[in-house]
Structure formats: structure tokens, C-alpha cells
Structure 1
Amino acid sequence: MAPRLLRRQPRTADRRETPVRPRRRLPVRAEHPHDAAGLNHRRPASRDTGRMERFDVFVIGGGGTGSEVAFRLGHQSGLRVGMAERDRLGGECNNYGCVPTKVMLRSAKIAALARDAERFGVHIPTVEVDFGAVMDRVRAVIEASSGEEAGPFEDLGITVLKDDARLVGPDEIEMADGTRIVADRIVLATGTVPQTPPIPGLEGAPFWTNREAIWSPTAAPSSLAIIGAGAVGIEFAQLYARFGTRVTVLEVAPRILPNEDEAAAAAFVPALEAEGIELHVSVTIRRASHDGHGWRLEIGDGEAVRADELLVAAGRTPNLDGHDLVAAGVSLDDEG
């Protein structure tokens, strides 16, 4: 979701004539770097500390968009810029999406090539995937490319708060510790979260999203069902299949990759099936149930798919939980 810029009513005096008071840095509170539970984050109750901070611009969200906005504004002299991020700096792509999945895909590709080496005249007796070592490499790459370091921002004079920030007015933000932030401009760059389809049995159940599919398993599951055959679902289907998991993909649309070119999507089908991935399209999932050991998905009259783990990759929705958009004067369109 694109960042939203909220404007205050202009003051009677030009604020640029008022000297900017010395900046006081607030502490950066680190969280566990790989806490997948942050996806279903519950906003803690705020505590009124009576403290107030003032900024020219304050950014809520330290992901790709929020970080870029803060960096650009940090280069402008005279602007006091702040940014709040409750999770890891760098956002979804760097920490839970694009970067880690590409690292996993690289390992998966090497495993697939090794299994197919005989076709190229190379004899490899056995191919074993050390899933723990794969994930150690994923974490190392992520730590090198993003993470908890606020130093680059602070070097530009940007105040970074590792905490929840709640928009409560057109120029006011409330932090989880009760600190009040007042800013002339507020950028809401909170990104998106995975969308849960309205399937009976899913709500509150321990299914995976992209975050858990990367950070939760200590070993590749024996079997995996995936709801959604878009780019995310197909990407995880192939990488887990190459790690030795039996994968079943369920898609409500009449074809996989429904948002991609039809001819290109069709070309993927035989390639994926050749890797042992079972594809079901035009599927209606009537119910999902988890018995503590595995999943059962009812997809037709008496037909069911069983799997050790379930990944839901059915799209994303704007991450606006907890913000008082009415009080802030933010209007939403049909897409949020």
C-alpha cells in the first residue's frame, strides 16, 4: 500500500522562523530478530508516560517504503525526522519474503541439479539436504542485508523507535509506552499482511503464512498443502518439493498463476508436475481442520487432502490494525 501523507492545518506563523530545538534520541528497543509471531501481533496497551516528542515528519513503518522516505527526508537539513518500526527494519521483502525465499530457492535449485546430474554425465550417488544448514545460510544473508541496526538512519539524524506506533489524530501518534508524538507531516507506510480466506476451520488455527514457512520449520515437512497458486504459493511449492516435501497446491481460479500471462502460466504446469507437485484448480475448500498432528482439507464430495503442514498464500490486505483512521481524517478506497 502506498504511503499516505496527512497534512495539518497551517499555523498563523511560518514555523520555519522558529528555531528547531536540539534533537533527543530515544532508545532503540530490540526484539527477537526472527519472531514470526509478529504477524499476528497484538498491540500492547499504552502506558501514559506524559512524554511528548515533536517532529517535522514522522514515518510509521520501517519497511521498503518507510525506510526510503525517511532516508530521503533525512538528507534535507533542518527537518527533524522520526520513524517507528515494531518488527525488523527492512520490512516484509527483506526479512520474510523476497530475500529469504530467493536464498532458499538457490539451495533448492542446487539440490535439484544434483539429483539430475546423471543426465549431464555427472554421477552423484546420493543427494541429502541439510535443512538446518540451509536455514542458517538464509539467516546469515538476512542479517547481512537488513535487521535491527538503526545506525544508518541515526547517522542522518533520524530518530528510530523500535515500538508500536498508533495513529490517533491528523498530527498525533501514540507509542506503546505512552509517549505522544506530534508531527507536521505523518507518513503511514505500514505495508500489508497475509489475507486469510473465509474457510471454516482456518480462523485461529496454526497454519503457515510466508513468515512461518521461512522461520518456523526446523526440518522440511513430509507433506505440505498450499492454498493459493499465485506467485508466492508456486514459489514455496517448488522450493519445498525440491527439499523432499510432498506438495499439493489448491487454487480457486481455473488455472495456476491467475494474475500472470496465461501462456506463461500454462508452461509451468508440466514443469511443476514433473517435480512431483500435485496441482488442483477450480477448487472449493469446504472446511479445514487440524487435529494437532496434521491437516485435513475437504475439497469436494467426500474428497479430502491431508498434509502435515498448511501454507495459506491467498493474497494480502492493507495493514491498518489499531490505527484510528477516522480521527486522523484518512479516507479509504475499496482496496483499503
Structure 2
Amino acid sequence: MPFDYDLFVIGGGSGGVRAARVAAGDHGAKVALAEEYRMGGTCVIRGCVPKKLMVFASEYGEMAKDAQAYGWDMDVRGFDWQRFHAGLAAELDRLEGAYRNTLKNAGVTTYDQRATVVDPHTVALADGTRITAKHILIAVGGRPFVPTFEGSDLAITSNEIFHMPQLPKKALIVGGGYIASEFACILNGLGVDTHQYYRGGQILRGFDEECRNHIASQMQADGVSIRCGTDIVKLVREGDAIVAHATDGSAERFDLVMYATGRVPNTDGLGLENAGVRLGQKSEITVDDYSQSSVPSIFAVGDVTDRISLTPVAIREGHAFADTVFGGQKRTADWDLVPSAVFTQPEFGTVGLSEEAAAQNGPIEVYTAAFRPMQTLFAGRQNRVLMKLVVCAGTRVVLGCHIVAPHAGEMIQLAGIAIKMGATKEDFDRTVAVHPSMSEELVTLRKPVRKT
């Protein structure tokens, strides 16, 4: 009995769309894709893209002050959330349309409804239609996790923050990861009295400790109130306010409370267990290096697999899957030395090992430079940037590069190429500096500040 499709993709995010496009457009497979919400997934609709646009918006207040210091006659009267939000909505509509056109041009059939797995070769649409496919790809991503406690329903997540009817005057962000820290900086930059509670000892756990401390200090200097070692006991509605009762005994009123305490794979109710697909401890789909699940005909890419939860990684996983299954190329994604950026203020770019992780593997040398950058120094700002290289003492290979500075994401992309190629400290030293620039410090770090 022939199948309806060669491939059926569940999930219209970056990974699923790339897999569908490559399988159909490059390899001639008959492909369908189902998305229950909006095409583009978390990154485009409720993640990276709208967040980065909000980051841009939040930076213009300080930029306007800087412009005045540079001689510009400017009158800044505040931030108009409604005006910005209208433009944001229009941009997301445009991007969703681009994703739809990409699929259409590749010959992919799309279904705007939820799909679940019935068996290894069958999916069911929300309207009851059943469709068969030789291969099924799960690319449904993840969702924000909010623990259950008294009043937890009063909190929003990163999904809802893009749809605020108005900007709050006072907000609480709960969590210490990159999403929590980014939104704390965003709201602060937009003029919101912003507080961040985190139950751990310092925000941005898992990243380089020196960089974490640098970022936290700068955020606090810029006006974000960070309270570590603090968690929420309960939230209580009092009129228009939400009172957050914390483990430190405080009870403070906020207009908005946002939880960013992690994400979980979106596997609930997909029918995976009935089809024999093995799930991990976090309900993620367990897959091999070729994204194949415990059921040979069912594959999974992106955040639903809980490997590296980054959009570019999901895209590469989706592309490798399509090349392997339909292009005869047997290819995997590369999860080693993946550069990333945290869009806090200051911005953080990182690739490779933190100082702490590298030190566990053997002797290292650490090179750092912290200084006030020219552009904001002239404007009278006190912010400092941090450049850091972690070097293997034996091989001289640069094991990690960490940048805390404006446009760190742009810089780390290029540094990531050198790190990926196995550049040594001497390779960095031989490179002529671009002057005057912040990034020139990466090639002028001559003496280690620490050896461990």
C-alpha cells in the first residue's frame, strides 16, 4: 500500500521548515507539514526575532543620551509601546508569510492544524483526517515551564510578553537563565522598574563565572534590581497589582510577573508513547546522531530532542536529516563548539569552554581585558566591556572565547570560526589589530592574568 507522503513534518518552526524544504525542493520528496499555531515557530513568532527587536527598542533610550553627548540636539519624550507593538506585529506577519512562501515554492503541502502520531506511519489531523507517510519528523519545539504554586496562574511567560496591552510600570522577572536576564534588561531599557529574582547564587548559570559576574554587576548599575537566593512562595492578586511573596520574607507589589524558569519539550499529547517512541526524563524524544528515534520511521529535530536548544542548531539538524534520508548523503549536524549570544545589556557572546570547565581538563592560561569602550566613554557612561580567552597551556589551542560588550554577538560569530578551526593563542597574536575597535583586544592580549 503506497503512502500519502514520503515525509510528514509535525511542527512549522525553523527545524521542521528547513527539513521540509530541503526534502521536497532539493531531493524531490513528496512532503506535507502541519502547524497548529503560526508558521515560523518559537524563534520567529515568540522567541528570537521579536525578542531581538525588543532588545533594539530598549537600547535607543541610552543611545539618545549618548547622541546628546556627541552634540546632537535631541528631545526624547519616552517610549510608545503601542506604536512599537504595531510594527512588531507587522514584521512577524511578514516573516510568517515568507516561511509559508518558502514551503509553497518547494512544493510542500501545509495543514494549519494540530497533528498527532497514530502509529509509525500515520498521523491524525485535528479535523479527524488520517494521513500516511513513509517517514514522520517531529519538530514541535518546546514551551516555557512554570512551576505550580499558589497564584502561579497570575504569571506570564515569554510567550505572552510580546502581547502586553501596555507596558507595566513595575515588573518582576523570575529566573536566572538567559531568557530571564534578557527580558530584565529589555524592560529596564524601556523604562520599567525591573526586578529579577533567582533562587541560585548568580544569574546565567552554566556560563563563564567571570562573565556572569560582570554582566550582573553592569545590569545592576544600569538599574535592574537582581535578588539572588530568592524564589517565589506565592502570588496574590490585589486590585490591579500582583503581590509576590518571596522566600526571603518580602512581599512586593508588581504590575507584571514573568516566569522564565526553563523550557520543556512539547511532547504532551502527541501520541508518541502509543507509537513506541522512547522519551527521556524531561519528556524529550531520544534520538541518535541522525535524529532517528527508537521507531525507525520517526525522527525528531530541534528543542523537542533537548540537545542544544538554539535555532541555528535545529536548522542544521533538519537539513542533515533531509540530506540523510532523502539525499543519500548520511550526514549529521555538528554540536561541537557552537557559538551563542545572550542579548543582555551588556551583550554576551561565547564559544567553547568556560574557564571553570576548561580547568577541569588540564592546565590552562587565562587572558582578559576589561575597559571602558571609546564610544560610551566619550558620552560619560561608566560601562565596561570584558574580553576573555581561555587557552590550553600544553597545546596553546584557544579553548574558549568570551566577549561581554556591545555587539558581542556579531564579534563572537567571527571568533567562532577561528576557534572551530583550532586556532592557537599564537594565531590570535599574529593577527594584526583593527584599530580603533573593541575587538582588537582579542589579538593584543599578551600576558595571562591567571594560570591554573
How many correspondences in the alignment?
Answer: 283
Q: Deviations 1:7-47 (Å, cap 9, x if unpaired)?
A: xxxxxxxx8xx7xxxxxxxxxxxxxxxxxxxxxxxxxxxxx
Structure 2 partner of 1:89? 39
Structure 2 partner of 1:212? 160
| C-alpha distance 265-78 of structure 1, shift in aligned 2 (>3 A) | closer
Rounded Cα–Cα distance in structure 2 between residues aligned with 1:147 and 1:283: 43
Aligned-residue offset at 1:320? 1.0
> Is 2:141 aligned against 1:191?
yes
> Is 2:14 aligned against 1:64?
yes
Rounded Cα–Cα distance in structure 2 between residues aligned with 1:262 and 1:198: 30
Contact 1:220 1:245 in 2 (8 A): yes
Structure 2 partner of 1:318? 265
Structure 1 partner of 2:187? 240
The gaps in structure 1 that reach 5 residues or longer are 1-14, 19-52
| C-alpha distance 118-152 of structure 1, shift in aligned 2 (>3 A) | closer
Rounded Cα–Cα distance in structure 2 between residues aligned with 1:307 and 1:301: 17
| C-alpha distance 148-319 of structure 1, shift in aligned 2 (>3 A) | farther
Counterpart residue type for residue 242 of structure 1: G
Structure 1 partner of 2:340? none
* Secondary structure in structure 2 of the residue aligned to 1:104: helix
Counterparts of residues 1-336 of structure 1 (less than 5 Å):
54-76=4-26, 79-147=29-97, 150-202=100-152, 205-215=153-163, 217-291=164-238, 293-300=240-247, 302-335=249-282, 336=284
Contact 1:225 1:306 in 2 (8 A): no
* Secondary structure in structure 1 of the residue aligned to 2:18: helix
Rounded Cα–Cα distance in structure 1 between residues aligned with 2:28 and 2:249: 67
The gaps in structure 2 that reach 5 residues or longer are 285-452
Rounded Cα–Cα distance in structure 2 between residues aligned with 1:116 and 1:263: 28
Greater RCO (Cα-Cα under 8 Å, separation 6 or more) = 1
| Fraction of identical pairs, as percent | 29
Contact 2:195 2:224 in 1 (8 A): yes
Aligned-residue offset at 1:93? 0.6
Counterpart residue type for residue 204 of structure 2: L
Rounded Cα–Cα distance in structure 2 between residues aligned with 1:120 and 1:237: 28
| C-alpha distance 171-120 of structure 1, shift in aligned 2 (>3 A) | same
Rounded Cα–Cα distance in structure 1 between residues aligned with 2:26 and 2:56: 40
| C-alpha distance 253-171 of structure 1, shift in aligned 2 (>3 A) | same
Rounded Cα–Cα distance in structure 2 between residues aligned with 1:301 and 1:232: 23
Contact 1:241 1:247 in 2 (8 A): yes
* Secondary structure in structure 2 of the residue aligned to 1:136: helix
TM-score, normalised on structure 1?
0.79
| C-alpha distance 147-88 of structure 1, shift in aligned 2 (>3 A) | farther
Rounded Cα–Cα distance in structure 2 between residues aligned with 1:120 and 1:149: 41
Contact 1:70 1:158 in 2 (8 A): yes
Counterpart residue type for residue 175 of structure 2: G
Counterpart residue type for residue 181 of structure 2: I
* Secondary structure in structure 1 of the residue aligned to 2:106: coil
Counterpart residue type for residue 169 of structure 1: D
Rounded Cα–Cα distance in structure 2 between residues aligned with 1:259 and 1:137: 35
Aligned-residue offset at 1:134? 1.4
Aligned-residue offset at 1:263? 0.8
Aligned-residue offset at 1:281? 0.5
Rounded Cα–Cα distance in structure 1 between residues aligned with 2:38 and 2:10: 13
RMSD across aligned positions (CA): 2.0
